[in-house]
Amino acid sequence: MNLKDLLDNSLDKSLSDQKWHMLRQTIVKRLLSSGNATITELSSELQSSVPTVTKAVNELLAEGYMIDMGKVTNSGGRRPSLYSINPTCAYFMGVEVNISDLSIGLQNIKNEFVSIEMGTSFILQNTQESLMEFCEILNSFIEDSSVAKDMIVGVCINFSGRINSMEGFSYNYFYSENRPLTEIISEQLTIPVHLENDTRAMAFGEYREGVVDHEQNIIFLNYSWGVAIGMITDGKLYYGKSGYSGEFGHSTIFNNEIMCQCGKLGCLETEISGWSLVKQFQEAISQGKQSNVSIDENLLGLQHHVIIDGAVKLEDSLCVDLVTKQSEKIGRYLSILLNIFNPDLLVIGGDFARLGDYVLLPIQAALKKHSLGLVNRDMKLKKSTLGRRAGVIGACCIVKEKMLSPLLSK
C-alpha cells in the first residue's frame, strides 16, 4: 500500500465513509507536518475520541502508512506508544539534467535518499533519440533501485532555460506543440511527471535542506555555464505570471555586440558566465598570457570546470584573475536586485560556488560598494552547502510538495 491511494478522495459516497477517510487523511497530514505523536495527542489535536483515533491508527498501521516507534518514556503510569509516518509508504524522484550529464535521486517520505547517482553520462540533444535515451536511463535507475515503481508517487525533472511548469512544456529541449513533455515522459515511466527550471529547483533545495536557516525571502544565484536566479518570497517559490522568472543572465546590459546564446546582443551572460569565461581564457592565451591550464577545444561545454579547478586547485594566476574579475562584475549587477527586492539572504550556488572566497569576497565587496547600505546591512550572503546535489534535492522536495499538497491543504 502506498500513499497515492490515501491522497485520492473516498470512492464511497456515504457521509460516514467520507468522514472516516478524511480522519485517516488528517492523521497522516498531522504526522507529515508536525512529526511523531501518541494516540492521546492525536485525539486531542483532531478533537476525536481516543477509541475512534485508535481504530484509525490500527488501520493505518495494518496498511503500512504508519509505524509504531515504541513506548514513550514518562514519569509514571502506562507508557503510550509513539507513532510515525512509515518512511517506505511513498518515494519521490528528482532528476537534474545538464548539458553533458544528469543526476538522479530517490528519496523516501522523510527526505532520506535511498538511491542517488550523480553525473551519469548523458549528452543532452534536442532530438527524439536523445529523449528516448533519457527515459531509458531513468527506467534503468528505477529498476536498479530497491524501490518498486508503483511506490514512486512522482518525478520532478529539472531542465535549464524556459520551462512552463504549470502546463508541462520545455521550450529549450524536447518541445512539441501537440503534447506536454510531462505527458510524453510519464508514458515512458508510467509515473506522474513534473517539470521545473533547474535554478528554481536548486533554490528550493537550499531552502528546504541546505544553507537557509529561517530566512523566508531569498535570492539564489545559479552561477554556472549560464547565469540565472531563483527567488523565494514568504517561503514559496516565485514563478511570475507566466512562470519564466529568474532569467537574470539574459538581461541586456553590455554594449559589447557579443551574441548571447539566447540570440540577443550584450546579455549579462556574454561577459559573466561559464561559457564567457572559456572565451575570455582563450582570448587571454591568444594575446600571450601564460597559464598552467589548457582546455579542450572540442569540449567547450565542460571547460569552465577546468578553469575553475585551475583557480581552486592550482592557484593559476590567469584563472584566478579571470574569475575574480567576473565575480566583481556580477556583484555590481546583483546589487541592483538587492535594492529592488531587499531579500533576507543571497545564496551563491552553481559551479562557480566551488571557488569559495575567490567568488564570495569580490561579490561581497561589490555589494557593499554598489547597493544601498540599509539594504546590504540587513542581508546575509552565503555559499551553497548542497553543491551539485542542490538540484536533485530540490526536485525531490518540489515533487513531494506538489503530490502531497492535496492532502496537506485539507
Q: What is the mean pLDDT of the chain?
A: 91
CATH number for the domain whose boundaries are 90-202+391-408: 3.30.420.40
Interval 29-38 mean pLDDT: 87
pLDDT of residue 78: 76
Radius of gyration of the chain measured on its C-alpha atoms: 24
Residue 149 C-alpha cell reads as: 515503481
Per residue in 38-61, pLDDT tens? 999 999 999 999 999 999 999 999
DSSP secondary structure string, 96-145? EE-SSEEEEEEEETTS-EEEEEEEEE----SSHHHHHHHHHHHHHHHHHS
Helix axes 198-209, 390-408, angle to 10 degrees: 80
Kindly indicate the confidence band of residue 18, based on its pLDDT and cuts at 50, 70 and 90: confident
pLDDT tens-place string over residues 255-296: 999 999 889 999 999 999 999 999 999 999 999 999 999 988
C-alpha cell at 304: 569552465
Query: In 10 A of CB 381, how many CB atoms?
Result: 17
Q: What is the mean pLDDT of residues 159-178?
A: 88
pLDDT for 143: 95
Reported CATH class of domain 3-88 = mainly alpha
CB neighbour list of residue 39: distance below 8 Å, 6 or more residues apart: 50, 53, 54, 57, 80, 81, 83
pLDDT of res. 71: 87
Contact 191, 152 (CB under 8 A): yes
Cα 9 to Cα 113: distance, rounded to the nearest angstrom:
29
| Sign for the pseudo-dihedral over CA of 253, 259, 262, 263 | positive
Encode pLDDT of 317-370 as tens digits: 999 999 999 999 999 999 999 999 999 999 999 999 999 999 999 999 999 999
pTM of full prediction above 0.85:
yes
Other Cβ atoms closer than 10 A to 391: 32
Instruction: Please give the pLDDT value at position 301.
Output: 67
Give per-residue pLDDT as tens, 200-251.
999 999 999 999 999 999 999 999 999 999 999 999 999 998 888 999 999 9
Tell me the CA distances in angstroms from 7 to 10, 85, 123, 128, 294, one per residue in order.
9, 14, 37, 34, 55
Contacts of 21 (CB under 8 A, 6+ apart): 9, 10, 12
Intervals of CATH 3.30.420.40 along the chain: 90-202+391-408, 214-384
- With H, G, I as helix, E, B as strand and everything else as coil, classify residue 173: coil
pLDDT at 404: 77
Top-tier CATH class for 214-384 = alpha beta
Residue 195's pLDDT band, with cuts at 50, 70 and 90, is very high
Count how many Cα atoms sit within 13 Å of the Cα of residue 10 in the half-sphere of its side chain: 14
**The pLDDT value given to residue 32:** 84
Q: Of the ranges 64-78, 96-110, 153-167, which one carries the lowest mean pLDDT score?
A: 64-78
Confidence of residue 408 (pLDDT cuts 50, 70, 90): low
Residues of the chain with CATH 1.10.10.10: 3-88
Kindly report, residue by residue over 69-107, the tens digit of the pLDDT: 988 876 666 788 999 999 998 999 999 998 889 999 999
Mean pLDDT value of segment 388-408? 86
Percent of the chain with pLDDT over 70: 95
Residue written as cell 464511497? 12
Question: Mean pLDDT across the stretch 110-136?
Answer: 93
